[in-house]
């Protein structure tokens, strides 16, 4: 028996969509703003585009999901905006818009759709969700509150010539909720979600991710794939920083620990086109995906992938590197560092990603979840060994979940 499903719109859904739209237009709910669709094929194409590219200066990238009943009828929709710095979104637009035909209200459909949306935000590392609705829309307010919404304020606005009072809610998600099944199986609900929590204010993060140059071409494709499949890669603010850094330094020999699907290796190779890149990955599924991406996109044959445990591979390397990037098991950074330093030229730079653990490194260990304490201890050992070491020049940079940058000042380094 066919079950209800939640998914994006397709060209074959035209008849169901038009009936749904007609119902919304008839109801004229004060909080439902329906822009009538007349060219359905163009609407579907624009919806797909908007998932990755903001189609207007005042818009955010966004994905709209639809709730289809078992009989194929469309009951509700929810739009997830991925940034809040566009236009008036931070003031009164919010992350989420939802619409439901009145005949399907109070049946649990909207709650199911909202929880589905929350899962998508968790996958993107967004845990503070703003939702607004008309103050007099009792159904929407009840639904938001039922799903964890906390009323922040009521504001008066004028929109399309109408005076409205908007109720502003925030939902604070926990990062430990079970993630939906995805194509890439290696990252699951037990993955380290702390690295998805930016340590800078969310609106500043959104500004950096949206205002700076966006990737296109094959790098944009790999970045988009990682976001869809929930594969952790460096966030866009770090991407832009890496491009600036590597184009300025122009290293000749780059080492990476933690290939994943190959995104950062391809980024570094593209930014330093005369460099060789040696990258290490222990996860067979990730290594296979990376190998496919290198075959397809490493046109200058700069990248060498070594599959295996980093500690074993590092101890066997004989090449000298002038730049290294670590983005792997956070508790093992301090284990890998001595081996990398042995193979790093004096004056060489190491960049280590995700060192703040969503700010948890500032807490007492008693306040850290037990399954995160190994990471916590490892990172503090890393800080103790590097931040005040006379043989190193080290600095912390608040991009993404924090970057530790180290420059090797002398041949022999004592890490204590």
Write down the residue that tokens 């966030």 correspond to. 235
Give the CA distances from residue 166 to residues 24, 91, 155, 157, 328, in Å, rounded to whole numbers and listed in that order: 20, 10, 5, 7, 44
- Supply the DSSP symbol for 390: T
83 is in an annotated binding site: no
- What's the rounded Cα separation, in Å, for the pair 350 and 259? 16
Whether residue 129 contacts residue 118, with contact meaning beta carbons closer than 8 Å, is answered with: yes
203 is in an annotated binding site: no
The DSSP letter of residue 93 is I
Residue 281 assigned as binding residue: yes
Task: Point out which residues pair with 392 in neighbouring strands.
Answer: 408
Residues 6+ positions from 12 with CB-CB distance below 8 Å: none
Is 140 part of any known ligand binding site?
A: no
> Could you identify the residue written with the tokens 């800080």?
383
The annotation status of 353 as a binding-site residue, yes or no, is no
Contact 198, 205 (CB under 8 A): yes
Structure tokens at 335: 């284990």
Which of 259, 254, 296 has its CA nearest to residue 271? 254
Phi-psi label, residue 386: left if phi above 0, alpha if psi -120 to 50, beta otherwise: alpha
Q: What is the SS3 assignment for 257?
A: strand
Residue 234 marked ligand-binding:
yes
Residues 6+ apart with CB under 8 A from 15: none
Q: Would you state the structure tokens that stand for residue 395, as one six-digit string?
A: 């600095």
* CB contact set of 76 (below 8 Å; sequence gap of 6+): 66, 67, 98, 99, 100, 101, 104, 109, 110, 113
Handedness of CA 27, 31, 37, 42 (dihedral sign): negative
Please state, in angstroms and rounded to a whole number, the distance separating the CA atoms of residues 166 and 176. Answer: 31
The DSSP code sequence of 319-356 is --EEEEEE-S-GGGHHHHHHHHHHTEEEEEEEEEE--S
Binding-site residues for S-adenosyl-L-methionine, please?
A: 234, 264, 281, 309-310, 327
Binding-site residues, please?
A: 234, 264, 281, 309-310, 327
């Amino acid at each position: 028996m066919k079950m209800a499903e939640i998914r994006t719109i397709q060209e074959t859904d035209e008849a169901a969509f038009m009936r749904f739209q007609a119902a919304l237009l008839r109801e004229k709910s004060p909080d439902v703003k329906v822009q009538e669709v007349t060219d359905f094929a163009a609407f579907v194409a624009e919806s797909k585009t908007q998932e990755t590219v903001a189609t207007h200066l005042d818009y955010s990238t966004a994905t709209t999901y639809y709730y289809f009943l078992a009989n194929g009828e469309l009951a509700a929709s929810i739009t997830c905006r991925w940034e809040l710095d566009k236009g008036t979104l931070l003031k009164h637009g919010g992350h989420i818009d939802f619409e439901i035909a009145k005949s399907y209200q109070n049946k649990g459909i909207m709650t199911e759709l909202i929880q589905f949306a929350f899962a998508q935000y968790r996958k993107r590392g967004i845990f503070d969700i703003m939702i607004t609705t008309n103050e007099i829309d009792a159904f929407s307010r009840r639904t938001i509150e039922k799903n964890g919404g906390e009323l922040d304020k009521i504001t008066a606005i004028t929109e399309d010539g109408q005076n409205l009072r908007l109720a502003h809610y925030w939902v604070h998600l926990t990062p430990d909720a079970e993630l939906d099944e995805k194509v890439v199986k290696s990252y699951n609900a037990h993955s380290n979600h702390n690295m998805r929590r930016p340590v800078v204010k969310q609106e500043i993060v959104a500004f950096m991710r949206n205002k700076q140059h966006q990737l296109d071409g094959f790098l944009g494709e790999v970045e988009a794939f990682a976001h869809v499949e929930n594969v952790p890669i460096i966030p866009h603010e770090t991407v832009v920083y890496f491009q600036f850094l590597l184009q300025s330094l122009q290293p000749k020999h780059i080492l990476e620990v933690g290939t994943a699907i190959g995104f950062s290796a391809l980024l570094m190779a593209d930014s330093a086109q005369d460099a060789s890149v040696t990258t290490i990955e222990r996860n067979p599924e990730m290594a296979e995906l990376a190998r496919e991406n290198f075959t397809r996109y490493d046109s200058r044959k700069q990248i060498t992938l070594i599959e295996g445990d980093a500690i074993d591979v590092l101890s066997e390397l004989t090449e000298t590197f002038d730049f290294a990037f670590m983005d792997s098991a956070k508790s093992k950074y301090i284990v890998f560092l001595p081996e990398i330093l042995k193979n790093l030229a004096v004056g060489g730079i190491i960049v280590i990603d995700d060192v703040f653990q969503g700010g948890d490194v500032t807490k007492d260990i008693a306040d850290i979840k037990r399954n995160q304490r190994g990471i916590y201890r490892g990172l503090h050992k890393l800080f103790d060994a590097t931040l005040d070491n006379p043989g190193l020049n080290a600095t912390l940079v608040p991009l993404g979940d924090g970057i530790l940058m180290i420059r090797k000042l002398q041949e022999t380094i004592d890490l204590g």
